[in-house]
Structure 1
């Protein structure tokens, strides 16, 4: 009797599980990265990378979603934003990200940069203009320029360019889960994008923990 009941229960569960598995499909909602790219996550962690740029209006619109999503991340997920570099303006803004991070001012000015570029329409297309802007926000101008143009920052920019090529990034915002899966907003919108990321994190979690 128990075997028959269990079999019946499994028969009911199986279609639901199959539906959950097919909710997000490779090639439609995400793309597999082949070969996988090594992560920087600690042992037992799942890495989620966001490729973004302050120059990208879609990234600016995505920011409230990503901020809310980050607040509820489980402990085994490591989130790593990476500024994309597609042209000279984007490089200046990527250097800005790293310089402000090094100076301890990134958290305070991250949202301010999106606001300045996309709401206030400030022309922050080069490091000199950006230096003037961050100086107005209390950041030492000379120290900022030194950090933005340092050999360390240049090396980071080069590594991140190579990483974006390995991920085959075609636009921003894009998210990469554990170096294996690429998710963009085009297939599902911003909230849907994060739901796909959560799904892929779940797929990766058993192997990492």
Structure 2
């Protein structure tokens, strides 16, 4: 797996704040085009993938506004997350996220897992860290362990490194749209001289809106009402 480099962003924004609207995003500035596109799984919707980590403070701070954006886009997009296996092929945080996903609890428990890790001020280094959190979060621990050890989750764990390599993503948070375009708060900030880090985070929504509309136009996908 490529070395992981966390984007250095001080994301001090209110969860309820709306994304800002700078000038129209430009290729090579606010976003890039992947040299080797990856065919998206979505067909009639625009696929949006967030590469993230549960212990990444920048992903944690981005989460509320990103989830608001996903809700706003609604049926226009197919949103999913891929967790970096930070400590290697047996990374307990990635394993925990895939377990939550398999249990249908990712949407309701991902942020609480981020909060718990942020409070600890350290990432999970062993399976027991994830188990202790699951129990404290009110999740049936026996069922959590059952899914944790299931063939489906174990198979997805083995494929994580390959997924990261396929998309050539080496930082978090990063978002890939339609397997072709990639953007991040850091890219937006770097593209706009003098823009504060907080403003860059809020401006990310406009770049994402722009890329979703761009893909819809390129592929003839009718926007959802």
Q: CA deviation at 1:123?
A: 6.0
TM score, norm. by length of structure 1: 0.80
Q: Deviations over 1:6-36 (max 9, x none)?
A: xxxxxxxxxxxxxxxx832222211111221
C-alpha contact 2:89 2:161 (8 A) present in aligned 1: no
| Residues 74, 102 of structure 1: alpha-carbon distance in 2 compared, 3 angstrom cutoff | closer
**Structure 1 segments unaligned to the other structure (5+ residues):** 1-21
Tell me how far apart the structure 1 counterparts of residues 90 and 117 of structure 2 sit (CA, whole Å). 12
Task: Look up the SS of the partner of 2:176 in the other structure.
Answer: strand
C-alpha contact 2:50 2:175 (8 A) present in aligned 1: yes
Mapping of residues 1-209 of structure 1, within 5 Å: 23-41=24-42, 43-88=43-88, 91-121=91-121, 124-188=124-188, 189-206=200-217, 207-209=219-221
Q: Deviations over 1:150-183 (max 9, x none)?
A: 3321221233322221211111110000000111
C-alpha contact 1:59 1:172 (8 A) present in aligned 2: yes
Partner of 2:196: none
Tell me how far apart the structure 1 counterparts of residues 129 and 81 of structure 2 sit (CA, whole Å). 23
TM score, norm. by length of structure 2: 0.75
- Matched residues, number: 187
**Structure 2 segments unaligned to the other structure (5+ residues):** 1-22, 189-199
Select the structure with the greater relative contact order (CA < 8 A; seq sep ≥ 6).
2
Say which one has the larger Rg: 1
Q: CA deviation at 1:73?
A: 0.7
